[in-house]
Structure 1
């Protein structure tokens, strides 16, 4: 992503992650150069000793800053950057407590009511029955319908409680706009990959479509989507092939899954 050589700042993760994309977007928008190092959970790379040393929670993204410290969790990384680099404060305005509180409120709402539940939806309704070949088609369908109801409810509250001009807080984006955009982008992709049309979160929603289109016009967005596309074939192979061996068979007890569903799955 960066044209500069000998960059000391490194972003660990992979482009399918909307959380890593959020951090990459802030870095790109503010001209903070970085190197990208791919760490894929679909290969078990987040659980290696090397990555656990960077991120004890075994997650992505992690940012290694120019001073050598490692920072994890996308919101924490972006807030850190805003405290260190004045150019980041247009996205997280630490000098304006009231506006900052509004940004935090949107971020938290998206995290806990939209993005988090969406990943549970994807795993149970899309990933388990297809990639892990678990025999839970009926349960997955029920969970899919339940998730549709909740997602539409929370998204409508977000839209109705925001300015949408075209961004959540007005004419310029803030951190929650990046989080929302990459969650919507992933929903569009997963709806196609797993053949679940309802998983497309902004279909038939004019306000969210306008928001999505406005985000797509930004050069930083275009760079990140292009990088994501270049990596997509590798990611798809891992998604359907490597994740079961790297994660399910080593870290999840199938007896627990059987107990969850009341039968062998």
Structure 2
């Protein structure tokens, strides 16, 4: 594997968590090579990957400019990247208090948004049986999480520090799912207007557009 780029990012074409990391790397202009693991072939559980990530999931990074430092769990990766490389605080908290608020939202994204949105997607699109009660439960949880975000974003433009940070950016890939068919029959723009406006502003960022373009190209292949 060539180490011409600073990071190796083990990820997946469709898995939202890897795209969170890609957005942050793009925002900071850090170079990386994406290795797209094929879940159907079990690449994520193969020894070539589990030697780096014993959990056998994505994403995993290797920082070749830091003694091949290896890390997994997407929001831990994001926190590492900004603490080490966002020295100008372009997309991360500038004060100690805001750093803890940033962690608060990263934890909420990891424990609230990701699992519930993921289960909603699984039971809606991938589970071999259609279980209405499971679909309803997790779609309700998606709306609960969006409601938490709405309650805050209706009062302020961004989650932390009055500007866009990783606290906000970490929500983009799973929100893409919610805004594109996960909540069939729910008018998200009407029910969660502040969330919709917030997401749209982030989607306009050149880095996010670049990542979305890469995702679209990969879907064609």
TM range (shorter): 0.7 to 0.9
Structure 2 counterparts to residues 48-63 of structure 1, below 5 A: 48-63=46-61
Identify the residue that residue 151 of structure 2 maps to in structure 1.
160
Structure 2 counterparts to residues 206-217 of structure 1, below 5 A: 206-217=193-204
Larger Rg: 1
1:11 shift after superposition: 1.0
In the alignment, structure 1 residue 180 sits paired with structure 2 residue 175 = no
CA contact (8 A) 1:64 1:71 kept: yes
Hey, what's the Cα distance between the residues in 2 that align with 1:16 and 1:202? Answer: 22
1:161 shift after superposition: 2.6
CA contact (8 A) 1:23 1:77 kept: yes
1:122 shift after superposition: 1.6
String of CA shifts for 1:232-258, please: whole Å, max 9, x gaps. 145xxxxxxxxxxxxxxxxxxxxxxxx
Identify the residue that residue 90 of structure 1 maps to in structure 2.
90
Hey, what's the Cα distance between the residues in 1 that align with 2:57 and 2:78? Answer: 16
CA contact (8 A) 1:23 1:78 kept: yes
- SS of corresponding position for 1:55: coil
CA contact (8 A) 1:52 1:58 kept: yes
1:68 shift after superposition: 1.6
Structure 2 counterparts to residues 119-158 of structure 1, below 5 A: 119-129=118-128, 136-137=129-130, 140-158=131-149
Hey, what's the Cα distance between the residues in 1 that align with 2:127 and 2:169? Answer: 28
Kindly report structure 1 stretches of 4+ aligned residues shifted beyond 4 Å: none
Hey, what's the Cα distance between the residues in 2 that align with 1:104 and 1:152? Answer: 22
1:170 shift after superposition: 5.9
TM-score, normalised to structure 2's length?
0.86
1:201 shift after superposition: 8.5
1:108 shift after superposition: 1.7
- SS of corresponding position for 2:35: strand
Over aligned residue pairs, what C-alpha RMSD do you find?
Answer: 2.4
CA contact (8 A) 1:166 1:214 kept: no
Per mean C-alpha deviation after superposition, the further-off stretch among 5-14 and 103-112 is: 5-14
TM-aligned CA distance change 1:154 to 1:186, over 3 Å: closer
CA contact (8 A) 1:15 1:227 kept: no
CA contact (8 A) 2:149 2:195 kept: no
Per mean C-alpha deviation after superposition, the further-off stretch among 27-36 and 174-183 is: 174-183
CA contact (8 A) 1:103 1:176 kept: yes
Hey, what's the Cα distance between the residues in 2 that align with 1:58 and 1:31? Answer: 28
How many residue pairs get aligned? The number is 216
- SS of corresponding position for 1:211: helix
Hey, what's the Cα distance between the residues in 2 that align with 1:82 and 1:214? Answer: 21
More helix by share: 1
- SS of corresponding position for 1:63: strand
1:88 shift after superposition: 6.9
1:26 shift after superposition: 1.0
1:41 shift after superposition: 2.4
TM-score, normalised to structure 1's length?
0.73
